[in-house]
Chains A and B, each alone.
Chain A
Amino acid sequence: MSHYLKKSFVLGGALSLAALSVQAESFNWASKTDPQTMDPHAVNSTPVLSFLNNIYEGLVRRAPDMSIEPSLATSWEPLEGENGWRFNLREGVTFQDGAAFTSEDVMFSYERASSEAADTRSWFSPVTDVRIVDDYTIEFLTNSPNPLFPSSIANFMILDSDWAKSNDAVLPAKDSENFATLNVNGTGPFTVASRDPGVKTVLVPHAEWWDTPTHNITEATFTPIGNSATGLAALLSGDIDFIEPIPLQDVEQVESRDGFRVIEGEETRVIMFGFGHEHDTLLYSNDVTDTNPFTDPRVRLAAAHAIDIASIDRVLFRGKIEAASQLVPANISGYSEANQDRPAYDPERAKELLAEAGYPDGFSFGLKCTNDRYINDEALCRAAASMFAAVGLDAQLSTGPVRDYWEQLRADDFDMYLLGWSPGTFDIEHPVRFLLHTQDDEAKLGSWNFGNYSNARVDELLPLILKELDPAARQDMIDELVKITQDEVAYIPLYTQPLIWAVKDNIDVTQRADNFFMLRWVTVN
């Protein structure tokens, strides 16, 4: 029962490249989670998409600063007279099995990635039709003007249609495996030489890659290491060259040793507290049982004033977090600079607001948190609970693993809850669509708005923001929307989570804010 996959054509390519490059460099890296599948359309999660971006490519791709640049499409422009985009495809691109890349592959991949079996189909909900113009031109029609469309499909990866058809992998595998679960054939800089799921995956360069390689890797081995202490030991012993993430408390240990360094940056994930806006009563209160005080914006604002982000930063995060005023950090497009102040830490004001709202002595409520999803999530909630207590808000904290957390939130089993959100499209429309718009399953809006915050003007603004082409007019609408949600304290945005990578000194890597790890930016010195 050998589960290794051998690919002779790949090895041939690797050997010829090894002969060309000055030095042969192998690179070993580790992360917490093994990509569940090698199928780019089966699971829409960071471990999978990050890993497969080394193997497959989209029409566009993201540069180190997250900006969009040409990849399999050399240019794109809005259609004239109708809503949609035309993509001009790169000529002379070959898949790793040698087949040529054409618009037919894009069409096939679109059909595959938007099928019911695909987890990526939400990316294509604005798409009404796709038209092949010629071998190297393809048009995506959308239901309304959609300026964000090209950047929203940066992770839409292109498969070879003939390869998928001849290997019986026309649709992503759903409840059983198929050829594309374990095998790959992309146009990207690397391909899989062998894969033992959950144990190790070996990648080698794709010799016929269309772009000029900037890396000097000849073989890259990925090992998932779930236990943080083991991962740290593996790095310090030299068994691996790079690991992400490492726990905050280990940063000093890595930095204090010769030959290693820590790379820190801001992730795009904003950590926040949410409320049960539409709950009639509190579920976990000892004293208030007939009403839900959090429906009063003054009470929500009081809770926001109770939080001391500076202390949380100093004590829990060693100064590595950035306070957040809205649901996206400043490096995300659409960030509202006009509304960059968050409620100050002001316990006296919080008490006044509670008294105004009719709770001079505060009240007790339930606070739900994860303990294995975000960095120091449990410690954060303990700290927040004691800060709430200082103004009379008695938080009954319950923490648990993320695997049954979302189910509890979907079942409305909370008074206040912890949530982290990373905007998948790197635009503020993303959290507005998922967290601020009124829940509407049919229109696929507000699906993570667990407390069902609802404001008619916000709902009205979202479609306008999505289709506005003029940046200034768009930003005005966003500013208005952010102002509303801040005034109403829809959420309490806390801070942006840090990214912490650790690497050997002789390795250069590039950290991107979406926590994707691109082998093509690795240099072994």
Chain B
Amino acid sequence: MVFFLTKRLIQSVFVMLAVAFLAFSLFRYVGDPVSQMTGVETSVEDRERLREDLGLNDPFVYQFVRFTGDLLKGDFGYSYRTRQPVAEMIASRIPATLELGLVALMISLLVGIPAGVYTALRPRGFATQTILMLTLVGVSIPTFVIGIMLIFFFGVQLGWLPTFGRGGTVSVGGWETSFLTIDGWRSLILPALTLGVYQLTLTMRLVRAEMMDVMQSDYIRFATARGVPMGRMYFRHALSNTMVPVITIIGLQFGGVIAFSIVTESVFQWPGMGLLFLESIRFVDIPVMGVYLVVIAFFFVLVNLIVDLLYVLIDPRLRISDVS
């Protein structure tokens, strides 16, 4: 187990280096940071001096090596835009993104799994057909349109929920959380729904397909013949056996939710990492963009690792093979 973990962690360093390299090779095409950092009246001479000071005239490979070298030393650099330490900027945005992603995930699981089971057991029911159609509509509409529609309906027309931001947050040991205030939860609902709709649909359809498959299998027939109670059969015997593929997909999707909550964060002015990344692109804030992409790569690696560990928990056969 320890060997497995160490191996994965070493792999993750290479993944992050590769991401950093790719990102850096693209930054040259994003734009000119110096034009963003200076006003119109700044002289050509001053602009050139700034460019030189920032090391932007250095060859690409040299810039990349300096960036990764500083990163390995734990020096994440300073933002071109705000001059703040990048590590601090990103760290202060992580809680918002993670909490949003978690609530979106919860919505997708708590609604998606029961709905998947239900639609598998009653494949021809009217409710099933309605649910399937609604979720199809849900995935077909782009995220930002869903977000804007929710904002205008619940925020502007009905006035029930806030239209932007995180509302009241409480700092718990430096972690700004929305979970402890009513205002925080009210602000979470719309963005989490927006972000969760796609995941919800995916989870539901996956659970449904797997369930239908499992329900056809021999052991369920035998269980039925043996008179195993329905509830126990559906959830203990059938559902557990659908979970391995479901967890794989949900895990990978969760990485995506964290990484690409950019659209949702922008629509709701949600102060997470995605919004920070968008602002950084607009200002060609290379240090922030670089560190953000590396952090996101790390998240992906981490989520994959957790998924692998969950397999072992869910599927006893993997535990046995591990012992042997």
Q: Which residues of A contact B (CB under 8 A)?
A: 1-3, 34, 36-37, 42-45, 116, 119-123, 125, 173-178, 181-182, 196-200, 223-227, 229-230, 233-234, 236-239, 401, 403-404, 406-407, 424, 434, 441-442, 444, 447-448
Can you report 30 residue pairs joining A to B where beta carbons are below 8 Å apart? A3-B92, A44-B41, A119-B39, A174-B50, A174-B83, A176-B78, A176-B83, A176-B85, A177-B82, A196-B271, A198-B82, A198-B271, A198-B275, A198-B279, A223-B165, A223-B269, A226-B279, A229-B148, A229-B151, A233-B148, A233-B155, A233-B164, A234-B269, A237-B162, A403-B35, A403-B283, A404-B30, A407-B31, A434-B40, A441-B45
B319 at the A interface (CB under 8 A): no
* Contact (Cβ within 8 A) B267 A230: yes
Tell me the bound Cα distance from A442 to B163 in angstroms: 51
B254 at the A interface (CB under 8 A): no
* Contact (Cβ within 8 A) A43 B37: yes
Q: Which residue of chain A has its CB nearest to the CB of B268?
A: A230
Tell me the bound Cα distance from A123 to B40 in angstroms: 12
Tell me the bound Cα distance from A351 to B317 in angstroms: 83
Tell me the bound Cα distance from A42 to B267 in angstroms: 30
Q: Which residues of B contact A (CB under 8 A)?
A: 29-32, 35-46, 49-50, 53-54, 78, 81-85, 88-89, 91-92, 148, 151-152, 155-156, 159, 162-165, 171, 174, 266-269, 271, 275-276, 278-279, 281-284
* Contact (Cβ within 8 A) B91 A237: no
**Other A-B pairs beyond A119-B46, A175-B54, A230-B266, 13, CB < 8 Å:** A2-B174, A3-B88, A119-B37, A119-B38, A174-B83, A199-B271, A226-B278, A230-B151, A403-B32, A403-B282, A404-B30, A404-B284, A447-B44
Tell me the bound Cα distance from A239 to B156 in angstroms: 10
Tell me the bound Cα distance from A37 to B84 in angstroms: 9
* Contact (Cβ within 8 A) A236 B156: yes
**Which of A173, A178, A182, A403 is within 8 Å of B36, CB to CB?**
A403
CB distance from B267 to the nearest CB of A (A): 6
Tell me the bound Cα distance from A321 to B282 in angstroms: 27
* Contact (Cβ within 8 A) A1 B174: yes
Tell me the bound Cα distance from A417 to B165 in angstroms: 38
Tell me the bound Cα distance from A238 to B157 in angstroms: 11
Tell me the bound Cα distance from A407 to B29 in angstroms: 11
* Contact (Cβ within 8 A) A122 B41: yes
CB distance from B261 to the nearest CB of A (A): 14
Q: Specify which of A178, A404, A424, A448 lies most central, judged by the most chain B CB atoms within 10 Å of its CB.
A: A404
* Contact (Cβ within 8 A) A403 B284: yes
* Contact (Cβ within 8 A) A227 B267: yes
Tell me the bound Cα distance from A1 to B174 in angstroms: 5
CB distance from A163 to the nearest CB of B (A): 19
CB distance from B212 to the nearest CB of A (A): 40
Tell me the bound Cα distance from A404 to B36 in angstroms: 9
* Contact (Cβ within 8 A) B78 A233: no
**Taking chain A's interface residues, is the majority helix, strand, or loop, or is none over half, making it mixed?**
loop
- Chain A residues with Cβ below 8 Å from B283 are 36, 403
**Which of B53, B151, B278, B279 is within 8 Å of A174, CB to CB?**
B53
Known contacts A233-B152, A234-B164, A403-B35: A1-B92 contact under CB 8 Å: yes
Tell me the bound Cα distance from A226 to B45 in angstroms: 32
* Contact (Cβ within 8 A) B30 A181: no
Tell me the bound Cα distance from A234 to B190 in angstroms: 14
**Which of B40, B46, B164, B281 is within 8 Å of A239, CB to CB?**
B164
* Contact (Cβ within 8 A) A44 B46: no
Q: Which residue of chain A has its CB nearest to the CB of B171?
A: A2
* Contact (Cβ within 8 A) A177 B83: yes
* Contact (Cβ within 8 A) A444 B43: yes
Tell me the bound Cα distance from A407 to B162 in angstroms: 40
* Contact (Cβ within 8 A) B41 A123: yes
- Chain B residues with Cβ below 8 Å from A229 are 148, 151, 267
**Which of B92, B159, B271 is within 8 Å of A238, CB to CB?**
B159
Tell me the bound Cα distance from A125 to B30 in angstroms: 32
Tell me the bound Cα distance from A376 to B81 in angstroms: 26
- Chain A residues with Cβ below 8 Å from B91 are 1
- Chain B residues with Cβ below 8 Å from A181 are 82-84
* Contact (Cβ within 8 A) B45 A444: yes
- Chain B residues with Cβ below 8 Å from A182 are 84
Known contacts A403-B284, A424-B41: A1-B151 contact under CB 8 Å: no
- Chain B residues with Cβ below 8 Å from A223 are 164-165, 269
Tell me the bound Cα distance from A403 to B88 in angstroms: 25
Known contacts A175-B83, A198-B271: A406-B43 contact under CB 8 Å: no
* Contact (Cβ within 8 A) A225 B35: no
Tell me the bound Cα distance from A444 to B83 in angstroms: 27
CB distance from A417 to the nearest CB of B (A): 15
CB distance from A433 to the nearest CB of B (A): 9
* Contact (Cβ within 8 A) A175 B78: yes
* Contact (Cβ within 8 A) A121 B276: no
- Chain B residues with Cβ below 8 Å from A3 are 88, 92
* Contact (Cβ within 8 A) A44 B42: yes
CB distance from B191 to the nearest CB of A (A): 11
CB distance from A293 to the nearest CB of B (A): 29
**Which of A119, A123, A233, A447 is within 8 Å of B151, CB to CB?**
A233
Known contacts A37-B82, A403-B284: A45-B39 contact under CB 8 Å: yes
* Contact (Cβ within 8 A) B43 A447: yes
Tell me the bound Cα distance from A447 to B284 in angstroms: 22
Return the 6 tightest CB-CB contacts between A and B, nearest first.
Answer: A44-B39, A403-B31, A404-B31, A407-B32, A122-B41, A199-B271
